[in-house]
């Protein structure tokens, strides 16, 4: 690329290790599995980032497209002996593309789409409900009832977006500005509950790391809900899918299983890739926008895993996963998909 980009500076170790790695994690990359091509393995994506950084490959639309072939799920890292995670470098490689004016065409209007904090005084409540942008109105209402025991019609929790789409789109400065504005808007809340693990991870981990904003006291519903009422209308053959940001990134794997068990009276079926090694739904990293066919194939693979253990329904704990899996299940017509918030 022309000129020096500082976007890659923090990722030298990761790029170097991956460049010379014999692709030890390729089997654990849902994108590489779905597309079945070498270009999108974690190793190849990182090697391309290194070539672009060193000016030995152009930072063009083709390269930016490759950098976007990552959900940020981190599953590959469970197979990496060197403790490397590729998403941070790839998200910053996307930023180098934005700097150079090479923006993924599906994300051209992204900054204008992100919900800014509403004006007015900070949210004043002991416990705020943060629905996230991905939750449907029904799931938002379910989460509100579960988290706050209040009628959603009386809530005014629509304070904006945590900023994750900006980070994943390679706009870290806009992300930092969003985090700072959101932190100010949420400043009056002692605690926040959300049903979206990516929002929880973004506020707890990415706000301090990438925006210099103190992490608010934000918890996912699964971390605070003690039990779920009995749910009589669920199939007995029910599997639990671990959302990547809830399980791998926040370490929450047992609480949602206990909630499913309290609702159904039996532990959920275990998928072959589960707990901290759970398969991605395809919903992260903006992949449903930048590579929707790949994202759908990843969700199909996950449903196939559920069929393989005899499941007739899948419970997940993330509205993005819920949407990805619901869309895939609607095509096949043989699997019910439930969000954990609906059980509470
Ligand atoms: S993440 Fe680890 S296993 Fe995967 S390519 Fe990089 S160094 Fe190799």
**What confidence tens digit (pLDDT) does each residue in 265-301 have?**
999 999 999 999 999 999 999 999 999 999 999 999 9
pLDDT, average across residues 336-341: 93
Structure tokens at 325: 């899996």
* Domain identity same for 220 and 242: no
Pick from 42-51, 125-134, 174-183, 228-237 the range whose average pLDDT is largest. Answer: 42-51
What domain count does the chain have?
Answer: 3
54/146 same-domain check: no
Q: Locate 191 and state its tokens.
A: 């605690």
Structure confidence at residue 3 (pLDDT): 46
The full 3-state SS of 297-341, as one line of letters, equals: HHHHHHHHHHHHCCCCEEEECCHHHHHHHHHHHHHHCCCEEEEHH
| Residue 24 falls inside a structural domain | yes
Q: How far is CA 98 from CA 94, 111, 230, in A?
A: 6, 12, 49
Could you tell me the distance, in angstroms and rounded to a whole number, from the CA of residue 191 to the centre of ligand 1? 37
Last residue of a domain, one of 103, 134, 151: 103
Looking at the fold, whether 160 and 252 belong to one and the same domain comes out as: no
- State pLDDT tens for residues 197-240: 999 999 999 999 999 999 888 999 999 887 788 887 888 899 99
**Nearest ligand 1 atom, CA 79:** 3
H-helix or E-strand containing 315?
strand 313-316
- Ligand 1 atom with the smallest distance to the CA of 17 is 7
Mean pLDDT of the chain: 90
Residue 230: inside a domain: no
- Asked if residue 320 and residue 243 are part of one domain, the reply reads yes
Which conformational region is residue 228 in: left (phi greater than 0), alpha (psi within -120 to 50 degrees), or beta? beta
Asked if residue 212 and residue 302 are part of one domain, the reply reads no
Which domain-ending residue is among 195, 224, 253?
Answer: 224
Distance CA 274, CA 243 (A): 9
Contact assessment for residue 71 and residue 282, using Cβ atoms and an 8 Å cutoff: yes
Q: Does 273 lie in the same domain as 201?
A: no
Ligand 1: residue of 44, 46, 85 to mutate (most ligand atoms within 8 A of CB) is 46
Which atom belonging to ligand 1 lies closest to the Cα atom of 26? 4
Q: Is 135 left (phi over 0), alpha (psi -120 to 50) or beta?
A: beta
Selection from 124, 134, 290 nearest residue 199 by Cα: 134
Q: What is the pLDDT of residue 188?
A: 67
pLDDT recorded at residue 88? 97
Give the closest residue (by CA) to ligand 1 atom 2: 80
Establish if 108 belongs to a structural domain: no
Same domain, yes or no: 293 and 218:
no
Give the CA distances from residue 105 to residues 67, 169, 183, 290, 294, in Å, rounded to whole numbers and listed in that order: 13, 11, 30, 8, 16
Query: Is 147 in the same domain as 205?
Result: yes
Spatial separation of the C-alpha atoms in residues 43 and 47, rounded to whole Å: 6
220 and 250 in a common domain: no
Residue numbers of the domain that contains 61 = 2-103
Strands 336-339 and 313-316: parallel
Q: Whole-angstrom distance between the N-terminal and C-terminal Cα of the chain?
A: 51
Mean pLDDT for 45-49 is 98
Based on the fold, state whether residues 219 and 242 are members of the same structural domain.
no
Dihedral Cα 169, 323, 141, 339, nearest 10 deg? -120
Q: What are 117-151's pLDDT values in tens digits?
A: 765 555 556 677 788 887 777 777 777 677 666 65
Please tell me the distance between residue 38's alpha carbon and the centre of ligand 1 in angstroms. 14
**109 occurs within a structural domain:** no
Distance CA 41, CA 47 (A): 10
What's the rounded mean pLDDT across residues 8-28? 96
Do the domain assignments include residue 110? no
> Is the residue at 50 inside a domain?
yes
CATH number at residue 282: 3.40.50
Whether 170 and 206 map to the same domain: the answer is yes
pLDDT for the residue numbered 192: 84
Task: State how far the Cα of 271 lies from the Cα of 277, in Å rounded to an integer.
Answer: 10
- Classify residue 20 by its DSSP letter: T
Percent over 70 (pLDDT), the chain: 91
pLDDT tens digits, residue range 94-114?
A: 999 999 999 999 999 999 988
User: What is the distance between the alpha carbons of residues 70 and 33, in angstroms, rounded to a whole number?
Assistant: 12
> Predicted confidence band at 306 (pLDDT cuts at 50, 70, 90)?
very high
Q: Do 319 and 256 share a structural domain?
A: yes
Which domain-ending residue is among 224, 257, 284?
224
């Amino acid at each position: 690329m022309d000129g020096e980009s500082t976007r890659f500076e923090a990722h030298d170790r990761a790029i170097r290790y991956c460049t010379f790695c014999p692709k030890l994690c390729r089997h654990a990359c849902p994108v590489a599995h779905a597309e079945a091509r070498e270009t999108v393995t974690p190793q190849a994506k990182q090697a391309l980032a290194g070539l672009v950084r060193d000016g030995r490959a152009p930072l063009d639309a083709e390269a930016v497209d490759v950098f976007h072939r990552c959900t940020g799920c981190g599953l590959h890292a469970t197979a990496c002996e060197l403790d490397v995670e590729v998403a941070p470098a790839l998200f910053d490689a996307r930023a180098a593309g934005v700097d150079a004016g090479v923006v993924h065409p599906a994300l051209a209007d992204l900054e204008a789409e992100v919900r800014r904090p509403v004006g007015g005084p900070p949210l004043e409540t002991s416990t705020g409900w943060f629905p996230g942008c991905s939750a449907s109105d029904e799931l938002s209402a379910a989460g509100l009832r579960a988290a706050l025991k209040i009628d959603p019609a009386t809530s005014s929790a629509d304070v904006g977006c945590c900023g994750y789409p900006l980070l994943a789109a390679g706009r870290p400065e806009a992300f930092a500005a969003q985090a700072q504005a959101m932190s100010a808007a949420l400043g009056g809340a002692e605690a926040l509950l959300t049903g979206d693990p990516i929002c929880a991870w973004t506020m707890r981990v990415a706000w301090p790391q990438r925006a210099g904003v103190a992490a608010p006291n934000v918890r996912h519903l699964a971390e605070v809900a003690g039990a779920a009422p009995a749910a009589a209308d669920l199939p007995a053959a029910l599997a639990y899918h671990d959302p990547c940001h809830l399980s791998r990134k926040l370490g929450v794997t047992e609480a949602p299983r206990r909630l499913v068990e309290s609702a159904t009276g039996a532990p959920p079926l275990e998928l072959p890739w589960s707990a901290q090694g759970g398969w991605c739904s395809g919903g992260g990293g903006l992949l449903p926008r930048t590579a929707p066919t790949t994202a759908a194939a990843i969700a199909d693979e996950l449903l196939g895993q559920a069929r393989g253990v005899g499941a007739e329904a899948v419970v997940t704990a993330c509205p993005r996963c819920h949407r990805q899996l619901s869309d895939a299940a609607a095509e096949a017509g043989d699997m019910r998909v439930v969000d954990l918030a609906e059980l509470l």
